[in-house]
Structure formats: structure tokens, C-alpha cells
A and B are shown apart, each in its own frame.
Chain A
Amino acid sequence: NAGVTQTPKFQVLKTGQSMTLQCAQDMNHEYMSWYRQDPGMGLRLIHYSVGAGITDQGEVPNGYNVSRSTTEDFPLRLLSAAPSQTSVYFCASSYSSPAGPVDYYGYTFGSGTRLTVV
């Protein structure tokens, strides 16, 4: 089925460990982004990409790295996990910036990765 695929669904890390959250989409979307969702707060943008080879920081980028070598894939790397990074992470994609004036489709979100750092 077309959409955004995130792996893994669940992960437990020890403080200081590193890992990569995978995100792949098969809709040929140019725009991809990573959000984290914490209780009582709105989704917060970590990093985003407007196309292959182009990435930029969002609202809360510290402790995370991204790369975009292909249109389909947009992995998120945690460099040295900290308990403050315990969260649910969502990858999302769209044809163009979902905040732009002409995009009526909005984001397609993945199902999320629930990460716990102990």
C-alpha cells in the first residue's frame, strides 16, 4: 500500500546509545519531515527536507541528524540517546511544503516510532 513506512514501531535504548529511525515513502513526495509528539504538547518539527540532498533544521533539532540521499528515504539518527528524547516520532511527507498556500493535500504521516530511553 502506498504511504509512509516507519521502522521500528517500538524501541528501547540505553542512555548514550545511538540508533537510526527509518522512514520511507513511495508517493514521490518531495517534502519530508520528522516530528516528535510528547504528552500535552503539539507536534514539534525536528528536521525537514525539501528534496533529495537538501535538509534543514526545525524547531527542536539538537541531538538529531538527518540525511536525504534519495527522494524515498529520510532516516533520523539519534547520536547519543538521552532520556529527554523519550517520545513518539512521526515521519511525514507531502508533494510540497504542507504549510504553503496551494497545498490542499497536507501531510501523509507514518504510524510512528515509540522510543524509550532509559
Chain B
Amino acid sequence: KNQVEQSPQSLIILEGKNCTLQCNYTVSPFSNLRWYKQDTGRGPVSLTIMTFSENTKSNGRYTATLDADTKQSSLHITASQLSDSASYICVVSGRVDYKLSFGAGTTVTVRA
């Protein structure tokens, strides 16, 4: 069973609107959580990283939050642009073996 579940699987938003992506994980004990952006036909690129002691991290219009107690993270995209169309992947690292667990991703489509 995948230890990282992302929702929704896909979403469509209009340019300029905001959206929030969810990531629930069961990895325990937890070390850190990253969000990656993957453009079509490209490899993933890191957006943010949060350790278990951090609860929010921003990178431009991207803001990630983390609740280590409920094992949930979200990625909020503000004032979306066409270039935000991509797959967003949540990756969680365990603290014991430092193994990475990848979510299946949320595909975001921004329409003009």
C-alpha cells in the first residue's frame, strides 16, 4: 500500500484562480516532506522542503503547509498561471531508513 496518497488526482482551474492540493502520508517516523513540480515530458523539480518542525514554506506563488500530527500536507497555488499546468508530486522521507515514498501526483491544468 502506498504510504503517500495525493488528492485530487487531477483538477482544472481558470487562470488567475487559486487551488490547493492535498497529500496524506503514513510514513512514520517522519523526517521531511518535499513537493515537486513535473512539467509534461520533463523530470520533477523541487519546489519546497519541510522538516517535521516546520509547518509552512513558500516559494513564490507556491505555499506548502505541513501538519505532522495529522500527517497531512497541502500545496497552495496562488493566482495560477498557464505555466503552472503540471503534475505536482508529494515525496515523504522516513526518519529511520530515510527511504523516499512518492505520491502518484496531482495533475493541474490551468486554462485561459
The reply on A46 being an interface residue by CB < 8 A is: no
The reply on A107 being an interface residue by CB < 8 A is: yes
Main secondary structure of the interface of A (DSSP, over half): loop
Q: How many residues of B contact A (CB 8 A)?
A: 26
Distance of A25 from chain B, by nearest CB (Å):
12
**Complex alpha-carbon distance, A100 and B95, angstroms:** 8
Beta-carbon nearest neighbor of A45 in chain B? B100
**Complex alpha-carbon distance, A101 and B104, angstroms:** 23
Distance of B79 from chain A, by nearest CB (Å):
25
Q: 1/0 per residue B90-107: CB within 8 Å of A?
A: 000111001111111100
The reply on B49 being an interface residue by CB < 8 A is: yes
Beta-carbon nearest neighbor of B47 in chain A? A106
Asked if residues A92 and B43 are in contact (CB atoms below 8 Å), the reply is yes
Tally A-B pairs: CB < 8 A.
55
The reply on B59 being an interface residue by CB < 8 A is: no
**Complex alpha-carbon distance, A39 and B102, angstroms:** 13
**Complex alpha-carbon distance, A44 and B104, angstroms:** 10
Q: 1/0 per residue B1-29: CB within 8 Å of A?
A: 01010000000000000000000000000
Within 8 A of B (CB), among A24-53: 40-45
Tell me whether A42 and B95 are in contact in the complex, defined as CB-CB below 8 angstroms, given that A4-B43, A106-B34 are known contacts. no
Asked if residues B45 and A100 are in contact (CB atoms below 8 Å), the reply is no
**Complex alpha-carbon distance, A113 and B23, angstroms:** 27
Beta-carbon nearest neighbor of A35 in chain B? B102
Besides A42-B89, A97-B98, 4 other CB < 8 A contacts?
A43-B44, A90-B44, A99-B99, A112-B42
